[in-house]
Chain A
Amino acid sequence: MSGALLHEVASARHLGALRLWVFGMWTLDVAKDPLTDLAAIPIDYFEPVGVLRVLPASLWTILHTPEALGLWWASLIALTALAAAGVRPYRLVAGAACLLLTLYQGVIYSFAGPTHAELAALYAAYALAIFPSADGLSIRHGLGSRAPAPVYRWAFLTVTVMLLSTYMLVGVRRLFLGGVAIFTDGTILRAVVDRSASPDHLNASFGLQVLASAPLTGLVEAGFVVVTVFEVTSLFCLVRPWFRRAWLAVILLFHALSWPLMQTLFLHNILLIGALLVDWDGLARWTRGRRARPSPEGTV
Chain B
Amino acid sequence: MTTATAIEVGADIALGALLLWPIRRSLVALASTVALRYRLASLAVLLLLGGGQLLDEREATFPVSDWAMHTESMTTDPRFIEYTAVLEDGREERLLIGTLLPIAGKRLRTRMDQTVYGEAFQSPMHGSAPAEAADDLEAMLTGVVRAYEARHGQAVRAVRLWDVTIPIDPYTGPDSIKRDLLREFHVP
Interface residues of A (CB under 8 A from B): 1-5, 32-35, 37-38, 40-42, 44-45, 47, 49-53, 102, 105-106, 108-109, 111-116, 119, 122-123, 126-127, 130-131, 148, 150-151, 153-155, 157-158, 161-162, 165-166, 168-170, 172-174, 176-178, 181-182, 185-191, 193-194, 197-203, 208, 211-212, 224, 232-233, 235-236, 238-239, 263-264
Contact = CB atoms under 8 A, between A and B. Distances in A.
B111 interface: yes
Q: Which one of B31, B74, B174 has the highest number of Cβ atoms from chain A below 10 Å of its Cβ? A: B74
Interface in B139-167: 139-140, 143, 146-147, 164, 166
A131 B40 CA distance: 11
B30 A157 contact: yes
Contact of A41 (B8, B23, B59, B143): B143
The B interface, classified by DSSP as helix, strand, loop or mixed, is helix
A201 B74 contact: no
B117 to A, nearest CB: 13
A148 B33 contact: yes
Given A112-B107, A191-B74, A203 B63 contact: no
A3 B25 contact: yes
Contact of A182 (B71, B82, B143, B168): B71
Contact of A197 (B42, B101, B164): B164
B48 A174 contact: no
B73 interface: yes
B75 to A, nearest CB: 6
B97 A235 contact: no
B96 A109 contact: no
A5 B15 contact: no
A202 B109 CA distance: 14
Nearest to A172: B12
A49 B104 contact: no
A51 B62 contact: yes
**Which of A44, A127, A189 has the most CB atoms of chain B within a 10 A radius of its CB?**
A44
B73 A181 contact: yes
A40 B34 contact: no
A40 B107 contact: no
A153 B35 CA distance: 13
Given A45-B111, A168-B15, A154 B42 contact: yes
B12 A169 contact: yes
A197 B166 CA distance: 9
Interface residues of B, number: 85
B128 to A, nearest CB: 19
Nearest to B12: A172
Interface of B: 4, 8, 11-12, 15-16, 19-20, 22-23, 25-27, 30-31, 33-35, 38-39, 41-42, 45-46, 48-49, 53, 58-83, 94-99, 101-111, 132, 135-136, 139-140, 143, 146-147, 164, 166, 168-169, 171, 173-174
Nearest to B62: A50
B140 A51 contact: no
A41 B108 contact: yes
Contacts of A194: 74, 78-80, 166
Task: Determine which residue in A116, A130, A200, A232 has the highest number of CB atoms from chain B within 10 A of its CB, and name it.
Answer: A200
A151 B38 contact: yes
A48 B20 CA distance: 38
Given A112-B105, A115-B107, A193-B78, A201 B98 contact: yes
B160 to A, nearest CB: 12
Nearest to B33: A150
B2 to A, nearest CB: 11
A168 B20 CA distance: 13
A11 B11 CA distance: 34
B38 A155 contact: yes
A40 B145 CA distance: 11
10 contacts: A37-B101, A37-B103, A115-B107, A154-B38, A166-B67, A174-B69, A190-B75, A198-B80, A212-B173, A224-B70
